[in-house]
Homo-oligomer: A and B are copies of this chain.
Amino acid sequence: MKYAAVVTQNDDGWTIPLVAIAVDLVILTIRSAALHVLLVERAEMPYEGKPALPGGFLATESEDLDTAAARELTEETGLRAEWLHLEQLRTYGTPNRDPRGRVVSVSYLAIVPDLPEPEAGGDASDANWMPVRQVLRRRAGLAFDHDRILTDGLEHARRKLEHTTLATAFCPPQFTVTELRNVYEIVWGVRLDHRNFYRKVTGTRDFLVPTGTQTKQHGGRPAALFRRGTATALYPPILRGSST
């Protein structure tokens, strides 16, 4: 990357540094009973060949940040952002976080239901779902400061499960109470009492809407299927470290 110029001036003659803006995505899903994050293998220097979060620079001078995040999400997963949970996380701007120069990265958190297969597309040479535990076990596993971004995104998601209905974003359009409980158990890494959990979520207004249908058999009593309700906040919350 070559900079044609890195500063500009305001009317008083002050010099103002100009920087490149990147968006980086923490895209989480649950696959085979484990939390997974979508990673790409970097095709260019720096960190060539290293795994990294999907992301990239603003495409044009007039592209909005949220638009850029939605575009990257679609490029990497083939999913339309309108149907998914996509929210801004926070911004990382440490001067030397990118060896090519000053890059400020705006990170986003995306939650998607279990997908058939990742679709390697866009400028990424390769896109793969990786278990989060495995990625975070070894330090410096990801390019740039993406280990930190992933850690922050994970903590953000864990916290939001407590007092919002975010967990349903991991689920398909119709799901059972047990599937929803599995989301909590897998993301938090705890065991919850299934009877108390059932009482809690079915008793929270507008959290779940019964569809009237049931699951097909798979070795036990059929379960009722639900859709997401209109609620977004949970009062009272479901606290971690409880066995609700």
Show the binding face of A for B, using Cβ within 8 Å: 1-12, 14, 16-21, 44-45, 57-58, 60-65, 88, 90-91, 93-95, 102, 104, 106, 163, 235-237, 239, 241
Contact = CB atoms under 8 A, between A and B. Distances in A.
B237 A58 contact: no
Contact of A4 (B1, B9, B57, B63): B9
Among A44, A58, A62, A235, the one with the most B-chain Cβ atoms within 10 Å of its Cβ is A58
Contacts of A9: 1-2, 4
A58 B8 CA distance: 12
Q: Report the copy number of this chain in the oligomer.
A: 2
A interface, by DSSP: helix, strand, loop or mixed? loop
Contacts of A63: 17, 95
A2 B14 CA distance: 11
Given A237-B237, A239-B236, A61 B4 contact: no
Interface pairs A-B: 5 shortest CB-CB:
A5-B5, A65-B93, A18-B18, A17-B61, A4-B5
B65 A7 contact: no
B1 A16 contact: yes
Given A17-B58, A19-B58, A235-B239, 14 more contacts: A1-B16, A4-B5, A4-B8, A5-B8, A5-B18, A11-B44, A11-B45, A17-B21, A19-B19, A19-B21, A21-B93, A64-B94, A91-B91, A163-B163
A8 B17 contact: no
A95 B60 CA distance: 10
A68 B163 CA distance: 32
A4 B60 CA distance: 17
A163 B57 CA distance: 36
Contacts of A102: 61-62
10 contacts: A4-B5, A4-B7, A8-B20, A17-B61, A65-B93, A65-B94, A90-B90, A91-B106, A163-B163, A235-B239
Contacts of A7: 4, 61
Contact of A65 (B65, B104, B236): B104
